[in-house]
Each structure stands twice: as C-alpha cells, then as structure tokens.
Amino acid sequence: MRIANAITKLALLTGIPRPPYTRQNALIVETVGRRSGKRHRIPVGYLDDGGHIIVVVEDGLRAQWIQNALANDNRLKVHLRGVWQEARLRMLDADPSSYLSRMNRMHAAFVRIESTTPAVMEIVPECDQKATSSPAIPGLP
C-alpha cells in the first residue's frame, strides 16, 4: 500500500491522473504525527459537494491521519487542485453511502470493501473558515 500511495502522491503533485484519482477527485492530506512529530502525507479521494470537500474515511475516527489532525486542534494541510492550503477537519453526522453513491465508482468500491467504521468528514480550507461558524468537530475546542 505504501508504494501505491507514493505513486499516487507523486501523480497528484505533478497533475498526472492515476485512475481512479485526478485533481478533481483526490487531494493529499498532510498531518503531523501526534507522537513522532514527523510530517505524514497520504492521498485521499473526495467529493466536491457544492463547494464542500467531503471525505468518507474508511476507518472513521480510528484512521491515523484523523487522529493526527485531532491531536493538532483539527488542523492539517491539503494539496488541493495543485495548491497547498491550511485546513481544518470537521466530522459530519451523515450516512457515508449517500456520499459514496456520488463519488468516483472505483474509489467508492474500494472504500466499501476496506471500510471498518466509515465516517464522513469535511475538510475546510482556511480561506473558507470565515464563512463557517460551527466548530471543526462538535464538542471539541
């Protein structure tokens, strides 16, 4: 999986499509390890839902990148459409299948097969923070 993720990250950074991912349906998430302090980057498929960046996370709150973002006050960086941006993570109380049905079919199939406890997250770039009045994850500062 690490080799596949490395190839996908390189493709996304350079703008080369790597099915099922393109810059229109995938981004790179960068978090700082909550224990190691090291930078971690992974490719993540997303859905642009009317300007909202929606991610269905296969392992939900147990995913390491989610844990790292939570430990860093919900902060992360994303490489979205060719640009690195600071962003915040927000958990949504939503049914993952409603989003998966609108995502890239190959990616959605992978998520359905690999999911243990799927969760729906929104990634909110810092430039969009002013338009958002609710906290990044309900119940957290």
Which two structure tokens, joined as six digits, stand for 130? Answer: 């002013």
Question: Could you tell me if residue 140 is inside a domain?
Answer: no
Please report whether residue 89 resides in a domain: yes
Long-range contacts for 14-17 (Cβ within 8 Å, ≥24 apart)?
A: 15/82
**Range of 106's domain?**
2-127
Read off the pLDDT of residues 38-93 as tens digits, 9 standing for 90 and up: 999 999 999 999 999 999 999 999 999 999 999 999 999 999 988 999 999 999 99
Residue 40: inside a domain: yes
pLDDT, the chain, mean:
86
- Interatomic CA distance for residues 27 and 53, integer angstroms: 10
Q: What secondary structure does DSSP assign to 91-125, as a single string?
A: EE---HHHHHTTS-HHHHHHHHHH-SS-EEEEEEE
Give the Cα separation of 139 and 32 in Å (integer).
Answer: 22
Write down the pLDDT at residue 90.
97
Q: Is the pLDDT reported for residue 141 higher than 50?
A: no
Is 136 a member of any domain? no
Among 24-28, 114-118, 124-128, whose mean pLDDT is lowest? 124-128
- Exposure string of 39-56, with b = 16+ CB inside 10 Å and e = fewer, is eebbbbbbbeeeeebbbb
Residue 71 resides in a domain: yes
* Residue 120 pLDDT greater than 70, yes or no: yes
Tell me what pLDDT residue 42 has.
92
Query: Three-state SS for 28?
Result: strand
Average pLDDT over residues 2-8: 77
Residue 137 lies in a domain: no
Question: What pLDDT does residue 133 have?
Answer: 39
**CATH number of the structural domain spanning residue 100:** 2.30.110.10
| Beta-strand relationship, 52-57 and 47-49 | antiparallel
Would the pLDDT of 1 be above 70? no
Give me the pLDDT at residue 129, please: 52
The count of domains in the chain is 1
Cα 57 from chain centre: 7
pLDDT in tens, 18-44: 767 777 889 999 999 999 999 999 999
Q: What is the DSSP string of 36-53?
A: T--EEEEEEE-EEETTEE
How far apart, in Å, are the Cα atoms of 101 and each of 22, 80, 95?
A: 18, 22, 11
Q: Is residue 132 part of a domain?
A: no
Residue 128 has pLDDT above 90, yes or no: no
Instruction: Judge whether 139 lies within some domain.
Output: no
